[in-house]
């Protein structure tokens, strides 16, 4: 069954918290939000997600559990000594007599002090991260499948409604054709009187009625509806559903333009409204 582009996936380990969010998009877009310590792993994590996603925007948030991760404090001796000497010289020039601000140097001078995850980024740690990412994607896909199932159910319900309305249009058209044919025949007979050959009258009637004939449109409409019902039983993409909704729009527009009958136009409007709902729902499918 088709999956929705929207969904959530969450996976936690003692060291990591991973959350994945899916949003509707025409294209495949993957955005990774990683801690600085995992920037090197970004291409590999991207590859894992890219292989599992076909369409839509995906944001993955990965954070270390600070309480569980040990970090070490690294001091750049060269930068520290350089900053210390400059501040010391400045104090002498200004005749400032106080202790040098060691804490300020460590905290505010860029690059002097940094922290690093104790285990760092290596093959062993990435295997743990890879497994966690895969399990988060599994949870994400479950969410998408559940939403996709709900969307397909709603789409099929709307297609069945369209099918019922199209049958009503067919009945209305046959009634319209019979009534309009008889009216047209009487008008022609009144104009040309009784001395006109009946074959000529019938020919004129047929030519006029053909302008309002929507038999072909109704046949194609029925075909599109059946195909749409059939493909929604399969693992279908939103783009394919959208294609058939455009075809349905085309047929009902032609029908309403050919026949200016109040009942038929009203039924066509109902089909358009339902078809638009289907298109909106299909846009959220992969």
More confident residue, 208 or 11: 11
pLDDT-based confidence at residue 190 (cuts at 50, 70, 90): low
79, 164: one domain: no
52, 34: one domain: yes
pLDDT digits 0-9 by tens, 170-183:
999 888 877 776 67
152, 215: one domain: yes
85, 111: one domain: yes
pLDDT reported for residue 238? 83
60, 184: one domain: no
pLDDT digits 0-9 by tens, 221-269:
999 999 999 988 887 778 889 999 999 999 999 998 888 788 999 999 9
Q: Establish if 259 belongs to a structural domain.
A: yes
CA angle 176/177/181 to nearest 5° reads 115
Domain count, the chain: 3
pLDDT reported for residue 273? 96
Q: Establish if 2 belongs to a structural domain.
A: no
Burial of 13 (0-12, 13-18, 19+ CB in 10 A): middle
**Residue 119 token pair:** 């285990």
105, 129: one domain: no
267, 200: one domain: yes
pLDDT reported for residue 200? 54
**Contact status, residue 240 vs residue 213, Cβ threshold 8 Å:** no
pLDDT reported for residue 228? 93
Residue 67 has phi, psi (to 5 degrees) of -70, -25
pLDDT digits 0-9 by tens, 19-37:
999 998 888 999 999 887 7
State which residues form the domain around 87. 71-117
111, 133: one domain: no
Residue whose token pair is 């959208």: 242
105, 126: one domain: no
180, 259: one domain: yes
Please state the pTM of the whole predicted model: 0.67
177, 225: one domain: yes
pLDDT reported for residue 120? 46
pLDDT-based confidence at residue 51 (cuts at 50, 70, 90): very high
């Amino acid at each position: 069954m088709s999956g929705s582009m929207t969904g959530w996936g969450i996976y936690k380990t003692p060291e990591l918290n991973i959350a994945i969010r899916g949003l509707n998009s025409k294209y495949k877009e993957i955005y990774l939000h990683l801690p600085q310590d995992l920037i090197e792993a970004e291409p590999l994590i991207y590859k894992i997600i890219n292989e599992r996603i076909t369409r839509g925007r995906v944001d993955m948030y990965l954070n270390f559990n600070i309480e569980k991760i040990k970090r070490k404090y690294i001091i750049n001796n060269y930068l520290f000594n350089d900053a210390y000497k400059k501040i010391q010289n400045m104090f002498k020039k200004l005749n400032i007599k106080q202790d040098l601000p060691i804490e300020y140097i460590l905290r505010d001078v860029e690059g002097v002090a940094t922290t690093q995850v104790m285990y760092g980024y290596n093959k062993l740690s990435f295997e743990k991260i890879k497994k966690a990412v895969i399990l988060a994607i599994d949870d994400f896909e479950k969410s998408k499948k559940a939403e996709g199932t709900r969307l397909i159910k709603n789409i099929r319900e709307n297609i069945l409604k369209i099918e019922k309305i199209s049958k009503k249009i067919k009945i209305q058209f046959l009634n319209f054709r019979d009534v309009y044919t008889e009216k047209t025949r009487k008008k022609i007979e009144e104009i040309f009187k009784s001395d006109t050959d009946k074959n000529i009258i019938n020919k004129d009637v047929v030519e006029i009625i053909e302008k309002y004939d929507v038999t072909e449109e109704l046949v194609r409409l029925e075909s599109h509806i059946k195909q749409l019902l059939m493909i929604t039983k399969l693992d279908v993409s939103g783009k394919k559903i959208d294609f058939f909704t455009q075809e349905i729009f085309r047929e009902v527009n032609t029908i309403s333009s050919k026949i200016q009958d109040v009942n038929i136009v009203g039924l066509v409007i109902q089909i358009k409204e339902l078809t638009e709902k289907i298109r909106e729902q299909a846009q959220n499918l992969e």
